[in-house]
Amino acid sequence: MRNFDDAWRYELVRLLELEQGPRDDAAVNRLAINTSRRLDEQRLARARLIAQELGLDLAVGRVKQALRTITAVVWLLGLVMGVSAGLAALGPPDRPLNVIWALLTLLLLPTASMFIWGVAMITGRSNGGWLGHGWEWLTTRFLGKGDQAMAWRAWLRTAHSQGSERWWVSAATHSLWLAILMGILLALVVSFSLRHYTFFWQTTWLPTEVFVSVAQTLSALPATLGFSVPDTETIATSGNRAIDQAEVRLAWANWLVGLVLIFGAMPRLVLLVLSAWSIRWCAQHSAEPADAYAQTLNARLLQARSVELIDAAPGAADQWSSQGALSADQTLSASAVVALETSIPQALVAQALAPTLPDIVDRESRKLVLTTLTKLKPSRLLVVCDANQTPDRGLLNTLAAIGALAQHTRVYLKPPHANQERFLQWQHKLALSLQVPPVLTAQQALDWLRGMDVESKAVSEGPR
């Protein structure tokens, strides 16, 4: 899958087709085939085309809009929460600010929740937790019914099948926290700009060195990133009472802002980017769907291109020009019997009135029969055929060839005539080539050989 949106549309069309039956649109399938050589891309293209055709893009757009709106609202709420948390942590400006206490208030909860998130991701238990479910629930309520609801279901399924479900939830979580932390930072920056704060730290039994080292360790990273931090002396002298000096105040304010930015907002930003990147990675590397729907589509797309006629329309191969027959004065004998690709039944052999010719089974016997018939020149020639064989063109050609060597030719179709359709084909083909109906019983065949006229059933309408 190339990108999330394509996969999403594919899933949406899949849900639609499962619900309303497959859309067997040959035109769309052909268009899809032409987009790419690869089957997976053809499937995506097909979904894109169908979504366009049915106006599903609108539903997709609405879901995106809803997601954006919810995100914006959550951001706004987060920002407000952050500002109020920041203001609460700073307290009124007339009281000196306990920097360690303020730092704990501002960073403890975000950091702890980040660790919980990390543990959940590592153990793989998380599929979103409360926040994720709340977010889903909210969106479901927001989107109601109809195409949008289906588009939203498709969105959820796509995220699930690509394994990016938890990354989406992560992105939501981190962006909320980022909003809160930005709110805090906003509160800090505005407060420090427009109000007069003094800073100190307090202890009852810890030595000063502890605070110096803690403050310096924490500010090591911000310092390397260019934030001005309080020096050792400033830290040491800020113990238990606030110093109202411009540089000291500036140093502490910078220290606080730097720490919230570096240890609060930055990790969230990095994780947000990581989540976004993971979502994209999942979309690009998700496994080919091998479910029944995908396999059925593959087959349909393959079949759509497999019809390939490679030669011209057939000509009139099934036409027999009348080869003619002997006239009465040319005949030399009364009658003859020959079997074509079968044998003469006992009933006929026993009462052999006519000379029986060898059975025609191959080219040699055919040649022999043709030469013999040229000598015999019978008035009546009975050809025995097996009604269960296919009346092919070769057989009919032979029939025409030997028929030309007698005055009258009739075909006796050996029973059983079990296959009715095959029997009709024989009648049809005989009417085309010999223009006479077949003889159906041994008695009729004998009667005909003896010179009687046989009333055969009229040829009924041939098949096809």
Partner 1 sequence: MNDLQQLAQLACMAPKPPIRIAVVGHTNTGKTSLLRTLTRNRGFGDVHDAPGTTRHVQGAPVLLDDEVVLVWYDTPGLEDSMGLRDAMDAVSVTERRLEGPDRVARFLDDPSDSTRFEQESRVLKQVQDSDAVLYVVDVREPVLGKHRDELFVLQLCAKPVVPILNFTARDDAKPGPWVEAFTRHAMHITLSFDTVSPPVNGEQMLYGILAKVLGAKHETFERLGQAVAQQRQYRLEAALVEIASLCVRLAAQQRFIPNLEQALVSAQHILQDHARTLEDAVTKQLLALYQFGPDDYLPKDLPWSNGQWKADLFSAEVLAQAGLHVGKGAAAGALAGAAVDVMTVGLTLGAGTLVGAALGSAWQGIDRWGRQWQARLRGEREMRIGDDVLVALATRHLQLLAALELRGHAAQAPISLIDASNPPFQVGAFLKALSAARAQPWRVAAAQEHSLREREHVTRSLVRCLAESPLLKGILTDQVK
Angle at 309 between CA 305 and CA 314, to 5 degrees: 160
- Mark residues 92-121: x for contact with partner 1 by CB under 8 A, - for none: ------------------------------
**Binding of residue 309 to partner 1 (CB under 8 A):** yes
Report the distance separating Cα 100 and Cα 83, nearest Å: 19
Nearer to partner 1, 206 or 302 (CB): 302
* Residue closer to partner 1 (CB basis): 260 or 360: 360
The stretch near partner 1 (CB under 8 A) out of 70-78, 98-106, 299-307, 349-357 is 299-307
Q: Among 31, 109, 156, 189, indicate the residue that binds partner 1 (CB under 8 A).
A: 156
Contact (Cβ atoms closer than 8 angstroms) between residue 433 and residue 398: no
Q: How far apart are CA 451 and CA 449, in angstroms?
A: 5
Given 26, 37, 224, 350, the residue binding partner 1 (CB under 8 A) = 37
Binding mask 275-294 for partner 1 (x = CB under 8 A): ---------------xxxx-
- Cα dihedral 422→427→433→435 (10° resolution): 180
Residue 377 lies near partner 1 (rule: CB under 8 A): no
Q: Does 421 bind partner 1 (CB under 8 A)?
A: yes
425 is a contact residue toward partner 1 (CB under 8 A): yes
* Window contacting partner 1 (CB under 8 A); options: 128-136, 174-182, 214-222, 324-332: 128-136
CA–CA gap between residue 75 and residue 182 (Å, rounded): 10
Measuring CA to CA, how many Å separate 332 from each of 326, 329, 347, 351? Answer: 10, 8, 25, 21
How far is Cα 62 from Cα 53, in angstroms, rounded to an integer?
17
Token pair recorded at residue 97: 């600010």
Residue 305, both tokens = 């291109």
- The residues that bridge with 408 in the sheet, in sequence order, are 380
Q: Does 30 engage in binding with partner 1 (CB under 8 A)?
A: no
Our CB check for partner 1 shows the closer of 340 and 445 to be 340
Pairing of strands 408-414, 333-339: unpaired
Interacting residues toward partner 1 by CB under 8 A = 18, 21-22, 37-39, 125, 127-130, 132-134, 136-137, 153, 156-157, 160, 290-293, 295-296, 299, 302-303, 305-311, 313-318, 341, 361-366, 389-394, 397-398, 419, 421-422, 425, 463-464
